[in-house]
Structure 1
Amino acid sequence: MRHNSIPARTLIAAATTVVTGLLPLAGTASATPDSKPLPPVTVLADKSTASRGDIFVSPNSANSAYSSGVEILSGDGRRVVWSHKTPAGQQAADFRAQTYRGRPPVLTWWQGTGLGSLASGVNYIYDNRYQKVAEVRAGNGYTADGHEFLITGRGTALILAYKQETADLTGIGGSAHQAVIDGVVQEIDIRTGRVLFQWKAADHVPYAQSEQPLPSSPNKPWDWFHINAVKPDTDGDLLIDARNTWTTYKVDRHNGTVLWQLGGKASTFKEQAAPGQYLNTAGTIFSWQHDPEPLGGGLYSWFDNESAGAANTGARAVEELPFSRVVTVRVDEKARTATLVKSLNQPDYLSASSQGNAQPLRRGGAFVGWGSLPYVSEFNASGKAVFKARFPTGVNSYRAYRFPWK
């Protein structure tokens, strides 16, 4: 891979000057980047068999010493290729390289406020000279959430949104006027901003499928679904993931019908484990999961959190396994079985109570962002860890990726 010959420190300053002048969001208090530095990354392991390609992260910091933002790191994790700091009070998420209308790879990310709750932000597309190509916003009165910004081959973007509404939950022991947070998928024409497809969770999924405890007050919003991903399956239909129902839904891309669902209280499939693998204490393959990825041939992978913190449940911390993992599952639609065939455990057997992803790599491995934990890892096709790095305490990246860049 080739990098600009400008020294890293000079390149960062120049790129940040170009980009931050273009990125303030409407209604924000600050149009200038935070004066604090982005957090450093410490490489803990880097074997020669690690994949080629640069590392894309979006560190968000609860540590007052650092800013939040996005950055590209060299393949060994030791040099910053490019970075952008968000204005104070904003966050960034889902930073990666994608293809848009046949161009060379473009940079994409979400930037805004409230990630993980009632978020409000804008999705950005920048070219390989770090110039803005487009902004993508939610339509129909919604604001874009940062969990997913995926460009399709037809020049559209799949994005997510959250919205607070009121629901009658007396049928499941709740209030007749309970505040709820619903999840929405939209497909947006990037060039025109037109909404081409919209799917709303409450229109297709019963509230009773939620694993989230009901709140103590009807005025406290119940995050019953917590949508966190939308991906095209290999046949063009959509995989929609919900952390708080422990379920991935396969949805007809044209009419929104749920074709099948895996996990949770109403799984279409019998869940089982191949020899050498094991289900969690609830008898399911995953829980509080993120990032379904179609691998082809009936295989899928997930980032399997297996835990949720008190801030996520609204009640208490819970876990179904004492560590997080990446799982690969064989789905047999005819036999109605889902079989856990492979798992990659968090290298230090730690538990990520939120966030996370597992990017499939071309040679069969996975590049993993460990969500609320300050770690990123790469595993080869045999399941061996070949790269590991960490942020300082109090810093995490919602997702992490490895892509060729320039």
Structure 2
Amino acid sequence: MRDSRKRIGTLLGAVLAAVAVATAPPAAAADGLGLDVLVHRPGTSPGFIFVAPKVEGSATAPSYAEVVDDRGRVVWSHRVPVGQQVTDFRKQTYRGKPVLTWWQGTSPSGAGHGEGTDYIADLHGKVLATVEAGTGLADDQHEFRLTSRGTALITVYHQTPADLSSVGGPAAGQVFDAIAEEIDVATGKVLLHWNSLAHVPLADSHAAVPSAAPYDYFHINAVNVDQDGNLLISARHTWTVYKVDRHTGEVIWRLGGRHSDFALGDGAEFSWQHNPLPAGPDTVRIFDNASNGDSADPSRIIWVKLDERARTATLVRSVRHPDSLSAPSQGNSQALPNGDTFVGWGQLGRVSEFGPDGRLRFDATLPAGYDTYRAYRFAGY
């Protein structure tokens, strides 16, 4: 493990040293995939693109964490061992300093989740810390969010016996309990352990009950801190964003789904969503997949304004790709310093940047067959 961390640190140090001194990035690394740039117009936010190319469910295709420039050239890539994947590779802040973070592990074919470890490295490549879930659990690939409290928010999938007869499944069935944990990075102490089965019934799911596999009724895919310090938890399979009390774990409200606490106005409906994030006072930005692979409905990024007193949710803005892209899985959006919005189109292996007016400023794609769970743009090294 020590040798592995040293090797990772050396690789990260090399790329970050290059990024720090370059005004024009160096030529592409020998190993890595890069991007095929389709559109590049003036006005994009400065910085490099962070992606983690993978072939979903493949046990043989190589997977990477990559830093790429606006011409699609690989500035740096870290190739993980065959059979492993990287997700959510990005820049964050830990103890007041910029760091690189990522999840690395295995994701069984068709399972829709992963088991692995979360890593934090400084900008010289030294691994500062790893984060692991509570006893007997494994970190899932969907979320690794550092907070200003020196904690990490992660997701976990825990298979457990369940009576599924109420939803048309076997009485002696199996279900994935969706777990969100907040962990003190320095000590590993679990500060919050929230599990879906204690708060959300099976009947709220829009996912079909499988004949043999465990029932992924909830499918947790994001945990983020809202503006008031409580948590926003996304459940893809219930079409719901849950606001959860960070101290007690109680559900404060539900947005969307079968039991929404808000009446959703025209255009504010969403389904199979990812990555809800606070986007201003009483506003949530959501990657609305609008599809689970069973339709070609265009995916969108939507901004939804919440009136907690009137219990209404109003669409204030939405962005679609001009090609009407439909992402059956994965995806995210990121607010950039210049007012642009950077978007990863998940399963489609596409990344885009849109101006405040919704105009497409940058568009690129990974090689055929590859996707990236999320995509980001970061500057400031």
Q: TM-score, normalised by structure 1?
A: 0.84
Report the counterpart of residue 19 of structure 1 in structure 2. Answer: none
Q: CA separation of 1:4/1:323 partners in 2, compared to 1, >3 Å: closer, same or farther?
A: same
Q: Could you tell me which residue of structure 2 aligns to residue 255 of structure 1?
A: 248
Q: Does 1:53 align with 2:47?
A: yes
User: Within 1, Cα distance between the matches of 2:131 and 2:89?
Assistant: 14
**The residue matched to 1:322 in structure 2 has which SS?**
coil
**Alignment counterpart, residue 86 of structure 1, candidates 80, 85, 89:** 80
User: 1:114-129 maps to which residues of 2 (within 5 A)?
Assistant: 114=107, 117-129=112-124
Task: Please list the CA deviations of residues 139-193 of structure 1 after superposition, one character each: whole Å capped at 9, or x if unmatched.
Answer: 1211001111000001110001101111112333332111111110111111111
- Would the aligned equivalents of 2:54 and 2:372 in 1 still touch at CA under 8 Å? yes
CA separation in 2, counterparts of 1:393 and 1:78? 15
| Alignment of structure 1 residues 262-341 onto 2, 5 Å | 262-273=255-266, 278=267, 285-309=269-293, 318-319=294-295, 322-341=297-316
* Residue 98 of structure 1: aligned partner: 92
Counterpart in the other structure of 2:224: 231
- The alignment-based identity, stated in percent, is 49
1:46-195 aligned within 5 A: 46-61=40-55, 67-74=62-69, 76-103=70-97, 105-114=98-107, 117-195=112-190
The letter for the 2-side match of 1:49 is G
Question: Among residues 26, 31, 35, which one is paired with 1:8 in the alignment?
Answer: 26
Q: Look up the SS of the partner of 1:59 in the other structure.
A: coil
Name the SS of the counterpart of 1:50 in structure 2: coil
Give distance in 2, aligned partners of 1:169 and 1:301: 33
Of 79-88 and 292-301, the range deviating more from structure 2: 79-88
Among candidates 13, 37, 61, match of residue 43 of structure 1: 37
1:239–1:292 contact (8 Å) kept in structure 2: yes
Question: 1:209/1:43 Cα in 2 relative to 1: closer, same or farther (>3 Å)?
Answer: same
Which aligned pairs between 1:189-228 and structure 2 lie closer than 5 A? 189-217=184-212, 220-228=213-221
Q: Distance in 1 between matches of 2:231 and 2:71?
A: 33
- Contact kept, 8 Å, 2:169 with 2:211, in 1: the verdict is no
Say whether the 8 Å CA contact 1:38–1:66 is kept in structure 2.
no
Measure the CA separation in 2 of the matches of 1:353 and 1:364.
27
1:2 and 1:121 mapped to 2: Cα distance? 28
Secondary structure, in 3 states, of the residue corresponding to 2:197?
helix
For 2:8, the equivalent position in structure 1 comes to: none
**SS of match in other structure, 2:54:** strand
Cα deviation for residue 64 of structure 1 reads 9.5
* Offset at residue 45 of structure 1 (A): 1.1
CA distance in 2 between partners of 1:302 and 1:334 (Å): 21
What is the alpha-carbon distance in structure 1 between the residues aligned to residue 263 and residue 248 of structure 2? 26
| CA shift for structure 1 position 101 | 0.3
What residue identity is the alignment partner of 2:369?
G
Q: Deviating runs (4+, > 4 A) in structure 1?
A: 62-66
Measure the CA separation in 2 of the matches of 1:386 and 1:7: 20
Give the Cα–Cα distance (whole angstroms) in 2 for the partners of residues 232 and 254 of structure 1: 12
Over 3 Å counting, the alpha-carbon distance change for 1:307 and 1:129 in structure 2 is same
Q: Please say which of residues 76-85 and 372-381 is displaced more in the overlay.
A: 76-85
Q: Summarize the alignment of residues 14-29 of structure 1 with structure 2, pairs less than 5 Å apart.
A: none
The residue identity in structure 2 corresponding to 1:304 is D
Q: SS where residue 372 of structure 1 aligns?
A: helix
TM-score using structure 2 length: 0.90
User: Counterpart of 1:8 in 2: which secondary structure?
Assistant: coil
- RMSD, aligned CA: 2.1
Q: 1:350: how far off?
A: 2.1
Per-residue deviation, 1:81: 2.5
Do the aligned partners of residues 392 and 136 (structure 1) sit closer, same or farther apart at CA in structure 2, a change above 3 Å counting?
A: same
Q: 2:85 & 2:350 partners in 1: Cα distance?
A: 18
Instruction: Give how far 1:354 is off.
Output: 0.3
C-alpha distance 272-7 of structure 1, shift in aligned 2 (>3 A): closer
Offset from partner CA, 1:41-100 (integer Å, 9 cap, x none): 1111111111112111111135899621101122x1433222211100100000100010
Unaligned runs of 5+ in 2: 1-17
The DSSP-based 3-state class of the residue aligned with 2:77 is strand
Paired position in structure 1 for 2:9: none
Whole-Å separation in 2 of the counterparts to 1:3 and 1:322? 41
Q: Work out the CA distance in 1 between the residues paired with 2:35 and 2:355.
A: 21
Checking the alignment, whether the CA contact within 8 Å between 2:27 and 2:73 is kept in structure 1 is no
